[in-house]
Structure 1
Amino acid sequence: MDRTILHCDLNGFYASVELLDHPELRELPVAVCGDPESRHGIILAKNEAAKRFQVKTAETIWQARRKCPDLILLPAHHERYRAYSKKVNAIYEQYTDLVEPFGIDESWLDITGSMHLFGGDPRQIADEIRGRVKGELGLTISVGVSFNKIFAKLGSDLKKPDATTVIRREDVERVVWPLPVTDLLFVGRASYKVLRQYGIRTIGELVSFGREPLVRLLGKQGGQLYDYAAGLEHSPVTRAGEVPPPKSIGNSITFRRDLVGEADIRAGVSLLADSVSARLRRQGMMCSTVQVTIRDPNFKNICRQKRLPAPTCLFRDISQAALELIAQSWDPRAPIRLLAITGQNLVPEADAGEQLDLFHRDASPRREKREQLERALDQIRTKYGKGAISPSATALGEDIDHPAGHAGSIPPPGGSRRGEDA
């Protein structure tokens, strides 16, 4: 028997929360940004009125105002967003104990075993949840209903705002397969560029291409994308907190050529620190210790650790700590075959935030701005692919999330590569 999965996505979450205090602005174009006074600030969220002017998340304020001169800017209040996220998930948990958050504004719900308690009609239950979130909290959600997590999320993306979309197994060929392949979860700009070269532009064309050819083309990711497109994804919805948090988050690369010299080392560190910091943010964690492992061409390893002044998930903090460790323990003229950076002694973001407020009051505003910027970059990569934007110390030629032992490449440092729409 098929499961019944809901994917609930809060519409324009940050902007919607801010507009609760400014109802007079609801019909006007509004955006939330990290620093409204800065010409170089980043758009973090926008309402439906701003969307009609093509204002986009993660673009600069001056770009947004060029499209919409009357755009109203509001500052971000992340504590309020976290509080409302908890309230929304508390409503979801009244319908099932299987609620899996996917970021601060999205959650999957498995109502297979409980929907008989609420009338047994998945669409009706989704509509009821939408009504409760709107009536009790003043926020709107879009809900996708399907037999697995991937198609449930796809459904929530199809109609916005404040809508329910049902994708049954018999609907897949008619509803899902004609959609652009970029609508499929985890098909980013880099993957699409490869798929397009083989004439794959829709989800249906991806299925027709076949699983094995996709594996040969994209590796493990190709098989995963085929399973997603063909409706073969069966991962469970896990309860919040059910999966134990990781004890460490790290990444390593065995390079195609040895790194020699400070420029090469800085580029390698930038590549790895960027990956580790992004993964920490995805897990909602911060690290208190940075570890660096170096292997030379003779397979001799050294490992060094550094305790940080405060927990962090920022690229700048992690890369700086790693560079300091390398400078203290390695001759930059000696070749490096493998480099690894690991964040250890992890703490949840909420706990880390309290420590920062207590011990680093003066630095907190600057840190928050940096964190907002890096989260905006995460959003760009989610939409356009991991290679869409990169640290200035390295121009990424490949996916940043190389597994240990996978060959990567370190091009000359000093440039950055951005997606056309970033």
Structure 2
Amino acid sequence: MDRVIFHCDLNAFYASVELLQYPQFRTAPVAVCGDPSARHGIILAKNEAAKAFGVKTAETIWQARRKCPDLILLPAHHDKYRYYSKLAGEVYTRYTDLVEPFGIDESWLDVTGTLHLFGGDPVALANQLRDVMKQELGLTISVGVSFNKVFAKLGSDYKKPDATTVIWREDVPRIVWPLPVTDLLFVGRASARVLEKAGIRTIGDLAAAPRDQVERLLGKHGGQIHDYATGEDHSPVRPAGEVPPPKSVGNGLTFRRNLVGEEELRAGVYLLAERVALRLRRHQMKCTTVQVALRSPEFKTIQRQKATPAPTNVSRVIAQCVLELMEAAWHPASPLRAMTITAAGLLPEEEAGEQLDLLAPQASARRAKQEKLERAMDQLQDRYGKTIIGYASRQTQAARAIAGDEEKKEEKP
């Protein structure tokens, strides 16, 4: 028997939460944005009225206002979003204990084992959920109902806002396969370009292609998305509170002023590398790949990556990888607006032991010594505060100039 999976998506979440305080703007075009004075002036969310003008998430405020001169801008309040996300999660757990968040505004629910307690009709239950959310929180959700997680999410995206979409097995050829391949979970623009060169443009094209052909094009990821397209995703909905380990950990900064020169660039690299390494150690993970994204004041982004010399969660090793990438990709005299460092290819620490390099035994020993040092620093900072100890590189004028900036954290499950 097929499972019954819901994907619940809070519609225009940030904007909807803000509009609870400003009901007079409910029918007007509204967007939530970052702080322009702190150089975070981008659109974070928009309501349906703003969307009708072509306003898009992640574009700059001036681009959005050019499309919609009467756009109402509201500041972001992330504490509010976390609060309402928690309330929504509590509503979901009334219906099942198998609730898996997918970001702050989306969740999967497996109601297979509890559906009989609520009348046995999946569509009626989805509609009941939508009504409860409106009545108790003043928010709307779109619900996708399907036999697996991938198609349930596709269903919640299919019709918005405040709608229920059902995709059973017999509905897949009619609803799913004609959609562009980019509508499928985890198929980004880069993968879509590769697939298009092979004549694969729709989800149906992907499902019809031989699995081994897609794997040759995209590696292991190709096999995974082929399974998604054919409906062979069997991944479980994890119980509420059970969080899977991340597959990557990233930290990014948009600097209050552009960084120029080798000293300032190094300061930015070491600051972010320390934060990434600390979070790796908190997760008891090590990375095998380091990625860096560099953004100019003109919003041109360069992305590069390289393998680490060995699995690591040491900031010095991560920073050195980034500096080597930047040496080939970024001139020190070019102003740098923003930087993101991501540790990928993660392994649990117990599976990521380093064998002694017979050709460079000193390098292996030095990395082990650095890891021991940084763990000792973690313990001191946990006990006495972050300022009790740190690398001397933090105390340079350049490092102090950027250390107070807000950071963006990314963890990909």
Question: Shorter-chain TM-score category?
Answer: 0.5 to 0.7
Cα distance 1:240–1:324, how it changes in 2: closer, same or farther (>3 A)? farther
Contact persistence 2:289–2:345 (CA under 8 A) = no
Q: Which residue of 2 aligns with 1:127?
A: 127
Q: Within 5 Å, which residues of 2 pair with 1:9-408? A: 9-37=9-37, 41-243=41-243, 247-253=283-289, 266-268=323-325, 274-276=341-343, 298=359, 300=361, 301=364, 302-303=366-367, 304-305=370-371, 306=374, 307=377, 367-368=405-406, 370-371=407-408
Gap change, CA 1:7 and 1:256, over 3 Å in 2: closer
Q: Which runs of 5+ in 1 are unaligned?
A: 280-292, 312-316, 326-362, 383-400, 402-422
Does the C-alpha gap of structure 1 residues 253 and 40 become closer, same or farther in structure 2, counting only changes over 3 Å?
A: closer
Mark the CA change 1:60 to 1:38 in structure 2 (over 3 Å): closer, same or farther.
farther
2:351 aligned residue: none
Residues 355-382 of structure 1, C-alpha deviation per residue, up to 9 Å, x if partnerless? xxxxxxxx99x544x32xx66xx9xxx9
- Alpha-carbon distance in structure 1 between the residues aligned to 2:139 and 2:49: 16
Cα pair distance change 1:299/1:222, threshold 3 Å: farther
Q: What letter corresponds to residue 323 of structure 2 in structure 1? A: R
* 1:357 aligned partner: none
**Taking structure 1 as reference, are residues 263 and 253 closer, same or farther at Cα in structure 2, changes over 3 Å only?**
closer
Residue in structure 1 matched with residue 335 of structure 2 by the alignment: none
- Give the aligned residue type for 1:204: G
Q: Structure 1 residues 9 and 256, CA, compared in 2 at 3 Å: closer, same or farther? A: closer
Residue 14 of structure 1 deviates from its aligned partner by: 0.6
Distance 1:117 1:77 in 2: 37
Match of 2:284, as an amino acid? S
- How far the C-alpha of 1:150 sits from its partner, in A, is 0.3
Which runs of 5 or more structure 2 residues have no equivalent in the other structure? 247-282, 291-305, 310-318, 330-338, 347-353, 395-401
Question: What is the alpha-carbon distance in structure 2 between the residues aligned to residue 199 and residue 322 of structure 1?
Answer: 52
Task: Find the aligned partners of 1:83 and 1:207 in 2 and give their Cα distance.
Answer: 40
Q: Structure 2 vs 1, CA of residues 183 and 245 (structure 1 numbering), >3 Å: closer, same or farther?
A: closer
Q: Distance in 2 between matches of 1:203 and 1:127?
A: 28
Give the 3 Å change call, closer, same or farther, for CA 278–90 of structure 1 in structure 2.
farther
Query: 1:295 Cα deviation (Å)?
Result: 9.5
CA distance in 1, matches of 2:391, 2:321: 14
C-alpha separation between the residues in 2 aligned to 1:63 and 1:55? 8
Q: Is the 8 A contact 2:34 2:40 kept in 1?
A: no
Number of aligned residues: 314
The CA distance in 2 between the partners of 1:88 and 1:3, in whole Å, is 23
Offset, 1:250: 3.7
Listed one character per residue, the Cα deviations across residues 47-78 of structure 1 (whole Å, up to 9, x for unaligned) are: 11110111111111111111111111111111
Relative distance call for 1:216 and 1:15 in structure 2 (3 A) is same
Q: Is the 8 A contact 1:36 1:74 kept in 2?
A: no
RMSD: 3.6
Q: Deviations over 1:273-321 (max 9, x none)?
A: 7223999xxxxxxxxxxxxx9998935423124347979xxxxx9xxx9
1:16 is displaced (CA, Å) by: 0.4
Letter paired with 1:10: L
- Is the 8 Å Cα contact of residues 16 and 139 (structure 2) preserved in structure 1? yes
One-letter amino acid matched to 2:287: N
* CA gap 1:265/1:80 in 2 versus in 1, 3 angstroms: closer
Check conservation: 2:288, 2:307, Cα contact below 8 A: no
Question: In structure 2, how many angstroms separate the alpha carbons of the residues matched to 1:152 and 1:42?
Answer: 30
Contact 1:269–1:323 (CA under 8 A) maintained in structure 2: no
CA change 1:72–1:267 in 2 (3 A) is farther
Contact 2:7–2:144 under 8 Å retained in 1 = yes
CA contact (8 A) 2:288 2:343 kept: no
Q: Deviations over 1:354-410 (max 9, x none)?
A: xxxxxxxxx99x544x32xx66xx9xxx9xxxxxxxxxxxxxxxxxx9xxxxxxxxx
**1:179 Cα deviation (Å)?**
0.5
Hey, what does 1:392 align to over in structure 2? Answer: none
Larger Cα Rg: Structure 1 or Structure 2? Answer: 2
SS of the residue corresponding to residue 73 of structure 2 reads strand
CA deviation after TM superposition for structure 1 residue 240, in Å: 2.3
**Contact 1:36-1:73 within 8 A present in 2 as well:** no
For residues 391 and 289 of structure 2, what CA distance do their matches in structure 1 show? 15
Report the equivalent of 1:414. Answer: none
Q: Deviations over 1:310-357 (max 9, x none)?
A: 79xxxxx9xxx99969xxxxxxxxxxxxxxxxxxxxxxxxxxxxxxxx
TM-score (norm 2): 0.68
Which letter does structure 2 place at the counterpart of 1:70? Answer: D
Amino acid at match of 1:266: L
